[in-house]
Chain A
Amino acid sequence: DGGITQSPKYLFRKEGQNVTLSCEQNLNHDAMYWYRQDPGQGLRLIYYSQIVNDFQKGDIAEGYSVSREKKESFPLTVTSAQKNPTAFYLCASSMLIGQATYEQYFGPGTRLTVT
């Protein structure tokens, strides 16, 4: 079954701790993305990567870091520098042909609660 997996589904952390969210895809997609969703709001882009070992900041990258060591994996670290980390985090991936990306497919999300 092809798709995107995110783990865990729910994550609880104390303030001041870094936490890493997992995202894995077996769709053979080159491009991967991380979004943040707050209640009643749309999706905001945190980071994206179009190729292994390369990634770019999205609209709200401050307080987050990523790595892309393998095509299939794009983990997101929420650092203690992120002022308001409690949110629903979504990972997505898409095909990349030339410079063009195509429709994005999303994972099931991780709900992070920091107290």
Chain B
Amino acid sequence: GQQLNQSPQSMFIQEGEDVSMNCTSSSIFNTWLWYKQEPGEGPVLLIALYKAGELTSNGRLTAQFGITRKDSFLNISASIPSDVGIYFCAGLEYGNKLVFGAGTILRVKS
């Protein structure tokens, strides 16, 4: 099946630094979703984006729905140790299935 291009694959950053990751696709999506998964657990929905150009925040997290509808970005400000995990982007086609990125592994040095 189709997969999104998510980058970077992994990041090892200092506590307090800002983090940026993104997802791109050759297809247009109507909804972009960002999930976080911790080891041995199911993904938890962080942010949902429904309109092209939309910018949405959830605490220290900010995500944007690209204007072309083919990309999305997630930023985490002032990272803390509990931010570690795998972050997945997902695109939702109208009335259809979710397409997932391969994930960005985030590690934080305290």
Contact = CB atoms under 8 A, between A and B. Distances in A.
A107 B95 contact: no
Interface in B57-110: 88, 90, 92, 94-98, 100-103
By Cβ-Cβ distance, the 6 closest A-B pairs, closest first, are A106-B42, A59-B1, A99-B95, A42-B100, A42-B102, A103-B48
Contacts of B3: 42
Contact of A106 (B1, B43, B48): B43
A57 B97 CA distance: 11
Contact of B98 (A41, A98, A100, A104): A104
Contact of A102 (B31, B35, B43): B31
B77 to A, nearest CB: 23
B44 interface: yes
A44 B97 CA distance: 11
A76 interface: no
A87 interface: no
Number of contact residues on A: which range applies?
20 to 34
B92 A103 contact: yes
A45 interface: yes
9 contacts: A4-B42, A42-B100, A43-B88, A45-B97, A58-B1, A103-B45, A106-B44, A108-B41, A108-B42
A100 B95 contact: yes
B75 to A, nearest CB: 20
A44 B92 CA distance: 14
**Interface-central residue, B40, B96, B98, by most chain A CB under 10 Å:** B98
B43 A90 contact: yes
B100 A43 contact: yes
Given A41-B102, A42-B88, A104-B90, 19 more contacts: A33-B98, A42-B102, A43-B100, A45-B1, A45-B97, A45-B98, A48-B97, A59-B1, A88-B40, A90-B42, A92-B42, A98-B95, A101-B95, A101-B96, A103-B31, A103-B45, A103-B48, A105-B45, A107-B42
